[in-house]
Structure 1
Amino acid sequence: MTTHAIDAAGRKVDVVMHRPGDDAVDPVAFQELRQQRREKLEGDLGSGLLRTRYFPVLSVLAPVMTQSEGEITYPGDPMALYAALSVAVHRAVDDAGPLENARHYNDLAPEWKRFPSKEYRAAASSTGFRPYGTEPNTDQMVFDPRVWDESARMKWITLLREVRPRVVLISSVSPAHRYALEIAAMVKAELPHAYVVLGGRHVDETMTATPDGGRIVVKPSGTVAVIQEGKAPPVIDALVSGEAYYAVDALMRALAMAMDLERRWVRPERVLPCLQGILAEEGVGAGKSLVVLASDETRESFCGIALNGPQLDLALLPAPYEAFAIRSHFPIFTDPVTGDILRTAHFMVSNACPYRCNFCSESVQIGHGLRRFRDDAIGRAIERVCEYVSYDAKSLFFDDSVFWSGRYRDISDFCEELSKIRAAEPGDLHPRLRRFLTDDGDISRLRNLQWGAQLTVDTLAALHSQEESEKILRQMRDAGCSYIYIGIESMSTQVMNGIHKNLRRDESRPWREKVRHAARMVKSQGITLGTSVLFGLDGETRSSIDETIHEVGRLIDDELVDLASPNILTYHPATPITRQHGMHDQLDYHSPRIDNRKPYIYFEEAFPGVVSVILSEDDIWHIHNETQRRWGGARNDTSPESVLQVEGRIEGAAGEIIQETYAGI
């Protein structure tokens, strides 16, 4: 056990780092503790002193926005939260039942006892709110407010008082971090002994371990840094970053063992020994992650454990939707007869983008590298399609930054196999697919399945020949693909010369011509094309802004682009451009009250103080007004009037503002 300094832009913060197993409790003593608890637990359950061994849990996606009118809010399912919980929930449900049969959750256990039924999934509305009830399934234990306003606060307080959760797990991106801290503070005000765990993209980007696991580095905007500097309240008991699937499971089991058996509140001082005991007994699960725990009741001192397990194969993890209902509805997918917007599942076969753009938080250079479906990748992806169809998905969007990482062979093999099973008779399907496709409704949804994916201009127009790209697009269309999304970023050569997506530069064929060529190939196959445009990159001027708006407008006029989403460069804590622009120690993602106003609210994640220093507020107004005027109905509109039209077509929608639904997040 050694104290190491965290480098937070020159400010020193002390954290005690541990290595898994180095200072764990003695294995014999740990086994004795486990046996003693088990005997007492069995006795209390048998005598009726303890009604149940399960304790209530709530999981939360912290929302990005504070009001719905005219703003952009998260439109889809909270997939980062669902994925992070996938292993822990799967194992807990598997262990529900007789205590003697439990393998992982063989002590007290979270109230994850049963998955949603087929009927529940089919009836799930698009709203993020869901009743907890008396016998909740795993989906009912999620709080997903979408917008953080007074109504959401009251719902959260009511839920805390009703459920009295022993553990609250919060997932947050950077623009939502201030609201995650408020959500945690409300937990502590209502339930001082509840144990709060924070994870998600903001923690991933701001808290990492060195390769040897002996030290951690926290960005200035990281939760640990702002708490220890007194900028944020000490309301977090634990943080988990990285490839946290197995780490969350180990932590949840440690929390269960660290609970007092009578009152069932976590005793914080017991968490580290229990976690170390579990890790020493079982070893570290797959993936590279970091668990940081508050060391005392003040929650201002921390200790950490870096978990460096074997390389992850995403195909071997439980499906994120196994425990949760599909609630997304993307307006790009509609029923050809009724016009109803279809229930849309998110799907990923990789975790990062193979490109290294300096502004993108999804880049392979951030995090632990590119992870994919590896073992029998195509077969397992087809299984996952069938599984999601059985969960009432009528459409899919592949959220991979680049579909199958841009590998044409994988795309071709996947589309060929998907086309084959869509056309097959039910009796001819492999048993491992038939176990999901159990009735006529499942078969019908598979045959009529619509889906979309993301590609890049370079993938289509530079890295492959026109013949190869047209063949791939035909295969995608024939397999049910009806929508493709590409990131244009800019139509200005002076801007795109600094972007990694523009790999093969040719002065005789500027970027805007490659964009036009890629768009023409997509549209020639009858596929809807959505695009995103990013303003505020290096080299941006008012002239380049106008050039981009005009050239995208020409694509729309020529019916080569169906939807265009304007975005403003927002600084993420770990992206290289944040440091290059001198913003690495200037980001405020913690202050509880931020002046979030027009025109920032018209763009995803844009707040004053965290957007491109290259753009003035007048530039942002100009971008908003001119894209609205020039792109017309093709602009991904977030005005209140447009939103109400979309919401009216979604059964059960309750105040959900759709943004980037066209672009697939």
Structure 2
Amino acid sequence: MATHAMEKVYSGNGTVRLHRAGDVTDPDAFRERRRTRRKRLTEYLADGRAETRYFPVLSVLAPVMTQSEGEITYPGDPMCLYTALSLAVHRAVADAGPLADAEHYTDLAPEWTRFPSKKYRLSAGDDGYRAYGTAPNTDRTVFDPRVWDDTARDLWVRLLREVRPRVVLISAVSPAHRYALQIAELAKREVPEAFVILGGRHVDETTTATPDGQALLLKPSSPLAVMQEGKVPRVVDAVISGEAYHAVDLLMRALALATDLDRTWVDRDQVLPCLQGLLAEEGPGAGSSLVVLAAGDALDAVPLRGGALDLATLPSPYQAFAIRSRFPIFTHPETGDVLRTAHFMVSNACPYRCNFCSESAQLSNGLKRFKDDAIGTAVQRVCEYLGYGAESLFFDDSVFWSGRYRDIGDFCEELSRIRSTPPTELDARYRRFLTHEDDIERLHGLQWGAQLTVDTLVALHSAEESHAILRKMKEAGCSYVYIGIESMSTQVMTHIHKNLRRDERKPWREKVREAAALVKAHGLQLGTSVLFGLDGENRSSIDETIHEVGRLIDDKLIDLASPNILTYHPATPVTRAHGMQDRLDYHSPRIDNRKPYIYFEEAFPDVVSVLLTEDDIWHIHHETQHRWGGARNDAAPVPVEAGTE
């Protein structure tokens, strides 16, 4: 079943074949293949030649290069991985059981057969580790090491030898990319026939197709580029970029159909025909994504362009996985115990256009939100997470409800309403998740936090409007607000898109103080992020920022201040502006990971701002430690051991 392809040669070594989604020369042959396989598998199961129709699969979140003990924003649950897997896992679990009843995984299927029980969810630890065991639930199929060290390597190797996965799915941001490649390399060493898929934000930023789908665009740090150019071993069989929900499901089903029924390993020659056959029958699903299959020197790229994506139509990320994260910012009022914290998003990108940020909607196929009945769906999901054992929530949206006060207000009013409603009178859509008395107690004691911006609080709305919305947030259980200060220097903030509606009579630092005062007036804790190394930065602006943030801490307007160093991401405008687009190395197995870089998340030499010297970074570390004191979010990180890079 050959597909028509247009050959394109990219800037690396090798040939790229661009395929039109669903372009199959003989669709009847594909349908016959499916019928024949299903009949054969039914016979195998009936006479005992096959013990099961499920094949083992492992999913991995590649950790970033350092681990900060006590970091409030990390470690957290691997939501990028959970979200990407949500649809595929949901459909696989729905098809578990009699083969005759399966609708999506219609013969062999990944070993995603049952969701975690409530007892399992409530007993899950917060260290990321879990045992695969026999007949695993969906949560047990995830490897989440949190830090890549000798212990994690040994555990990964042991897991590979125990499970012998047919498919390994890995998600990685750019600072974790080199570790993702090492994870893949170990998978290939221990299980040579395993089919390895790589996705996540690094792939999203480095591997795309042109809008017309006629060319594949690979940045120099793309995993495909560095493999084709021989800079790293060819340890990845496919990458998925973009809005990958339906793409992951389609590729997993194609791999199931391409798996030899006798050997139960993926036949790589059949993956593309099976993928195209499914696309011809069903279409690509909602969203815009890209699947690229890597086979030797050739890359087979299939751009998938479906309709507009409504995030509310997707299964919730925690349906298949336990909530393990615990944020020290949320504690039990009586015992002081840190609460089990679920991550929550109602949008997938940031409406701002800051040139240093990879979360901008400009880099994410546009801003996608909950659409139809957004408020009711969001509150229903809150109840779902409470039923899974969540005691607190953190809204990971870059800006809570995209900064729209009407939506924030409506959400808080509905959440407040159900918190005050007797359990027996709750709407059925909420009550079905709150099945035990403990669930109701978690609803009444719920704490949550969200991210806002200075402009959302003081530039885009009046003080009266902001007071009203913060009051509603507090009444609905909000106890924590997080804002990005970035810098307190006017010469830096003139370059940043966050500083909207500039007024020479009110410099940025005064707007920050006003926003902080608004939040604290309602008794909410305030966390802040500061970013050094932006355009306009010098030693004077660094000292100005450290001093002004220190004044806010002295005045008890900030509870937490997190110092960060600008690091370059492959697709951000600042990377191009600073001439770093061809110089980023996210793949070499060894890096010079040393102090002072290890004191800052994601920072290591050669990817930090060219405007900062190493002496500047030492200065930032020492001065923020001294000036900000206990408000600095900085427990000492555990450095990577020598020789383990």
Which interval holds the TM-score relative to the shorter structure? over 0.9
Residue 289, structure 1, aligned to residue 289, structure 2: yes
Aligned equivalents of 1:582, 1:571: Cα separation in 2: 10
Aligned equivalents of 2:70, 2:133: Cα separation in 1: 33
Report 1:149-298 matches (<5 A): 149-295=149-295
Match of 1:608 among 601, 605, 608: 605
Aligned equivalents of 1:67, 1:472: Cα separation in 2: 36
Aligned equivalents of 1:21, 1:201: Cα separation in 2: 26
Which residue does 2:642 correspond to in 1?
none
Aligned equivalents of 1:50, 1:282: Cα separation in 2: 29
**Per-residue displacement from partner, 1:188-240 (whole Å, max 9, x unpaired)?**
11111000000000000001111111212111110111111111110000000
Aligned equivalents of 2:66, 2:57: Cα separation in 1: 25
Which residue does 1:391 correspond to in 2?
388
**Per-residue displacement from partner, 1:292-341 (whole Å, max 9, x unpaired)?**
0013xxx3421100000011000110000000000000000000000000
Match of 2:530 among 524, 528, 533: 533
Does the 8 Å CA contact 2:79/2:317 hold for their aligned counterparts? yes
Aligned equivalents of 1:409, 1:67: Cα separation in 2: 38
Which residue does 1:17 correspond to in 2?
18
Aligned equivalents of 2:444, 2:25: Cα separation in 1: 55
**Per-residue displacement from partner, 1:348-372 (whole Å, max 9, x unpaired)?**
0000000000000001111200000
**1:428 deviation in Å?**
1.1
In structure 2, relative to structure 1, the CA distance for the partners of 1:72 and 1:174 (3 Å cut) is farther
Residue 463, structure 1, aligned to residue 460, structure 2: yes
Aligned equivalents of 1:342, 1:421: Cα separation in 2: 21
**1:135 deviation in Å?**
1.6
**Per-residue displacement from partner, 1:463-494 (whole Å, max 9, x unpaired)?**
00000000000000000000000000000000
Residue 618, structure 1, aligned to residue 619, structure 2: no
Which residue does 2:556 correspond to in 1?
559
Does the 8 Å CA contact 2:73/2:327 hold for their aligned counterparts? no
Aligned equivalents of 1:566, 1:147: Cα separation in 2: 21
Does the 8 Å CA contact 1:5/1:13 hold for their aligned counterparts? no
Report 1:229-378 matches (<5 A): 229-295=229-295, 299-378=296-375
Aligned equivalents of 1:82, 1:326: Cα separation in 2: 11
Does the 8 Å CA contact 1:68/1:147 hold for their aligned counterparts? no
Aligned equivalents of 1:66, 1:491: Cα separation in 2: 28
Letter of the structure 1 residue corresponding to residue 80 of structure 2:
A
**1:74 deviation in Å?**
4.1
**1:5 deviation in Å?**
3.6
**Per-residue displacement from partner, 1:123-181 (whole Å, max 9, x unpaired)?**
00101110001121000000000111111100000000000000000000000100100
Aligned equivalents of 2:584, 2:14: Cα separation in 1: 18
SS at match of 2:301: strand
Does the 8 Å CA contact 2:72/2:328 hold for their aligned counterparts? no
Residue 425, structure 1, aligned to residue 422, structure 2: yes
Does the 8 Å CA contact 2:61/2:145 hold for their aligned counterparts? yes
Letter of the structure 2 residue corresponding to residue 245 of structure 1:
Y
Which residue does 1:110 correspond to in 2?
110
In structure 2, relative to structure 1, the CA distance for the partners of 1:588 and 1:73 (3 Å cut) is farther
Does the 8 Å CA contact 2:290/2:304 hold for their aligned counterparts? yes
Letter of the structure 1 residue corresponding to residue 357 of structure 2:
C
In structure 2, relative to structure 1, the CA distance for the partners of 1:311 and 1:264 (3 Å cut) is same
Report 1:361-510 matches (<5 A): 361-510=358-507
Aligned equivalents of 1:117, 1:69: Cα separation in 2: 30
Aligned equivalents of 2:7, 2:333: Cα separation in 1: 60
Which residue does 2:79 correspond to in 1?
79
Does the 8 Å CA contact 1:344/1:395 hold for their aligned counterparts? yes
**1:70 deviation in Å?**
10
Does the 8 Å CA contact 2:72/2:329 hold for their aligned counterparts? no
Aligned equivalents of 1:146, 1:179: Cα separation in 2: 11
Aligned equivalents of 2:587, 2:463: Cα separation in 1: 48
Aligned equivalents of 2:529, 2:87: Cα separation in 1: 33
Does the 8 Å CA contact 1:64/1:73 hold for their aligned counterparts? no
Which residue does 1:578 correspond to in 2?
575
In structure 2, relative to structure 1, the CA distance for the partners of 1:562 and 1:341 (3 Å cut) is same
SS at match of 1:565: strand
**Per-residue displacement from partner, 1:96-143 (whole Å, max 9, x unpaired)?**
000000000111000000000000000001011100011210000000
Say how many residue pairs are matched.
636
Which residue does 1:50 correspond to in 2?
50
Aligned equivalents of 1:93, 1:183: Cα separation in 2: 26
Aligned equivalents of 2:68, 2:182: Cα separation in 1: 19
**Per-residue displacement from partner, 1:628-664 (whole Å, max 9, x unpaired)?**
0000000002226xxxxxxxxxxxxxxxxx9xxxxxx
Aligned equivalents of 2:436, 2:158: Cα separation in 1: 39
SS at match of 2:302: strand
Letter of the structure 2 residue corresponding to residue 533 of structure 1:
V
Does the 8 Å CA contact 1:65/1:146 hold for their aligned counterparts? no
Does the 8 Å CA contact 2:90/2:315 hold for their aligned counterparts? yes
Which residue does 1:91 correspond to in 2?
91
Aligned equivalents of 1:286, 1:529: Cα separation in 2: 37
Q: State the superposition RMSD in angstroms.
A: 1.5
Aligned equivalents of 1:284, 1:480: Cα separation in 2: 40
SS at match of 1:521: helix
**1:624 deviation in Å?**
0.5
**Per-residue displacement from partner, 1:389-435 (whole Å, max 9, x unpaired)?**
00000000000000000000000000000000001001111111111
**Per-residue displacement from partner, 1:39-59 (whole Å, max 9, x unpaired)?**
110000000000000000000
**Per-residue displacement from partner, 1:73-93 (whole Å, max 9, x unpaired)?**
941000000000000000000
SS at match of 2:362: coil
Letter of the structure 2 residue corresponding to residue 629 of structure 1:
H
In structure 2, relative to structure 1, the CA distance for the partners of 1:521 and 1:366 (3 Å cut) is same
In structure 2, relative to structure 1, the CA distance for the partners of 1:67 and 1:461 (3 Å cut) is closer
Aligned equivalents of 1:474, 1:89: Cα separation in 2: 39
**1:26 deviation in Å?**
1.4
**1:72 deviation in Å?**
10
Does the 8 Å CA contact 2:236/2:294 hold for their aligned counterparts? yes
In structure 2, relative to structure 1, the CA distance for the partners of 1:459 and 1:6 (3 Å cut) is farther
Aligned equivalents of 2:585, 2:331: Cα separation in 1: 40
Percent identity over paired residues: 72
**1:31 deviation in Å?**
1.1
**1:448 deviation in Å?**
0.6
TM-score, normalised with respect to structure 1: 0.94
SS at match of 1:365: helix
In structure 2, relative to structure 1, the CA distance for the partners of 1:586 and 1:5 (3 Å cut) is farther
Does the 8 Å CA contact 1:66/1:149 hold for their aligned counterparts? no
Letter of the structure 2 residue corresponding to residue 623 of structure 1:
I
Aligned equivalents of 2:481, 2:338: Cα separation in 1: 17
SS at match of 1:550: helix
Letter of the structure 1 residue corresponding to residue 487 of structure 2:
S
Letter of the structure 1 residue corresponding to residue 537 of structure 2:
E
Letter of the structure 2 residue corresponding to residue 546 of structure 1:
D
Aligned equivalents of 1:72, 1:598: Cα separation in 2: 21
In structure 2, relative to structure 1, the CA distance for the partners of 1:523 and 1:66 (3 Å cut) is closer
